[in-house]
Structure 1
């Protein structure tokens, strides 16, 4: 016969399992279907308005989502303003300041949502929606965003420095950084295009095309056919135009789009908080 202590123990395990299933199920596509049906539409409208004024905001919003998820999970903590200069917030950390952009888009969307669905849509979800909309508006593959994130109440620049990959990191360091967040090396490579929506600026590669070293003008590790037929025509020698770009994967864009969308969905589930809050303003925690 099973003793009462064993029954209690098994009952406890069942409750733990049910709790884990419930917390994992917090994120779902169409999360605001009944509570704020216009949520995703409103966010998309704000992204489109901002994109018309400055098309660079699209890449900025995708990058912001990436930087948010890598620090404390996808909890909108990157949106919080610094209150005490002695403990600056994430957005003021060197990897984010002054390069992160698109805060005004999130704030505008939040203001509209508070007017129609007060206290319902989290800033973390708004950022996830805006990142997806930015991919779509730049002709990338759209994808459904599971929602239901809560907003975090802590934002520290020191944690951004500790968690965000450094531009000087080597492949092994980058691979480990992404692995720490549950992402594979393939997903790391795929998400590396997130900062520019799958494009690379010519200014970042022209030195490899024309002035690599004193003995060879072109980086010998580059495929010569690809460099001469694709890269050089798109990036002429001597050009300083910052708007010239080349696709990062011109030969299999459809495959890249599918992998990118899957990686973005997975990244959007990193460290999701189910015990935070719904901020009234994305730039400040609730009092």
Structure 2
């Protein structure tokens, strides 16, 4: 027990040191900073937090979708709220929203409501990108998950392209090598991959996003052609109770069965039982270093996961940010100004 505790302490210390250094570097560069709106819109963060506390408990699944929206936004053109833009004639009407990975995103009305509050208080001051980053944090906190400080000062992008989302958002079919390369292309590292994947503890999926693992993994077809890396009994249960066909795009499956509305360690414990839904989930235990992190957190107290997840969320929120004249402050998050 003492050895396990020491290992967890060392793990946490190492991850916090890496995350802290990255955060300090970003803030010292003037890109983002804590309290960016302290003078121009002092109640901005408070307004978003109150809005989340009022609405998320009534619809707790919002926490997962807002986290996912923030993640998908940051992986395409940086954290600039480009995922919130509607299509325009200039790009053939095909914005990031129309890309397959984003078709199941929701919560846009929630974000519009939060943005309207800060616009009423401080017109033209707070970016949609910052509203999204804050809302993702506050929604997770509203369901009892971790809380992290969000450096602000992002500007909103003016371009949103479907193909870029298709090319850059990590796919659920990726192996470990492809996943790590995707994260590193955004300035993130292996620990970030492991900890940010932990958001799946409150995630849901549709059968068509992992159906081939149940029925057609090698191309032979049928129930006997399941992914051998997926627990046999779990695969059988999914086929029997959830996914009658591999192309079902309406049935919802919990990524952390039994506690998908609770931010806990269930996702990591499920991975070690070979019950991760996506190939990209299962991939985390195919790499020795990633598996060691998964095992350490799965066996430890939730507080360790909360802290490392929070650090990686700060790092994610700094990916490719636009500041100053690089972007604008949209009045409405779905359309560019002018």
Deviation at 1:147, TM superposition (A): 0.2
Could you tell me which residue of structure 1 aligns to residue 272 of structure 2? none
Change (3 A) 1:21 1:90: closer
Displacement after TM superposition at 1:196 (Å): 4.3
**Matches of 1:282 and 1:165, distance apart in 2:** 24
1:278 matched to 2:329? The reply is: yes
The corresponding residue for 1:181 is: 186
Aligned to 1:4: none
Say which structure is richer in helix.
Answer: 2
Cα distance per residue 1:75-129 (max 9 Å; x no partner): 01011011238241111111101x1111111111111111110010000000000
Q: What are the superposed Cα offsets for residues 6-64 of structure 1, whole Å, 9 maximum, x if unpaired? A: xxxxxxxxxxxxxx999821311111111111111111222233323321111000000
Write out aligned runs for 1:96-245 (5 A): 96-97=102-103, 99-197=104-202, 240=242, 242=253, 244-245=257-258
Give 1:286 shift: 0.3
Q: Distance in 2 between matches of 1:93 and 1:200?
A: 18
Structure 1 residues 60 and 22 mapped into 2: Cα distance closer, same or farther (>3 Å)?
A: closer
- Counterpart residue number, 1:266: 315
From the superposition, tell whether residues 181 and 133 of structure 1 become closer, same or farther in structure 2 (CA, over 3 Å): same
Distance in 2, Cα, partners of 1:167 & 1:21:
30
Q: How far apart, CA to CA, are the structure 1 residues paired with 2:88 and 2:176?
A: 36
Structure 1 residue 249: Cα displacement: 3.5
Kept after mapping to 1: 8 A contact 2:180/2:189: yes
Aligned to 1:15: none
* 2:57–2:142 Cα contact (<8 Å) kept: no
Instruction: Decide whether the 8 Å contact of 1:60 with 1:101 is kept in 2.
Output: yes
Stretch moving more, 77-86 or 259-268: 77-86
Contact 1:62 1:195 in 2 (8 A): no
| Equivalent position to 2:267, from 248, 251, 259 | 248
Which residue of 2 is the match for residue 17 of structure 1?
none
Partner residue, 2:60: 55
TM-score, normalised on structure 2?
A: 0.66
Greater CA radius of gyration, 1 or 2?
Answer: 1
The SS at the match of 1:245 is: coil
Shift of 1:256: 1.3
CA distance in 2 between counterparts of 1:159 and 1:74 reads 14
1:12 maps to none
Task: Note the residue ranges of structure 1 that are not aligned, 5 or more in a row.
Answer: 1-19, 208-212
In 1, Cα distance between equivalents of 2:316 and 2:38: 23
Distance in 1, Cα, partners of 2:230 & 2:84: 40
Superposition deviation, residue 194 in structure 1: 2.2
* Offset of residue 221 of structure 1: 7.7
TM-score of the two chains, using structure 1 as the length reference: 0.77
Deviations 1:196-241 (A, max 9, x none): 44x678x989x7xxxxx87xx9x7886xxxx9xxx9xxx9996559
**RMSD between aligned alpha carbons?**
3.3
> What corresponds to 1:13 in structure 2?
none
Which of 40, 46, 50 is matched with 1:45 structurally? 50
Q: Hey, what does 1:32 align to over in structure 2?
A: 37
Q: Which runs of 5+ in 2 are unaligned?
A: 1-24, 215-222, 243-251, 260-265, 270-298
Shift of 1:131: 0.9
Structure 1: distance between partners of 2:178 and 2:185: 11
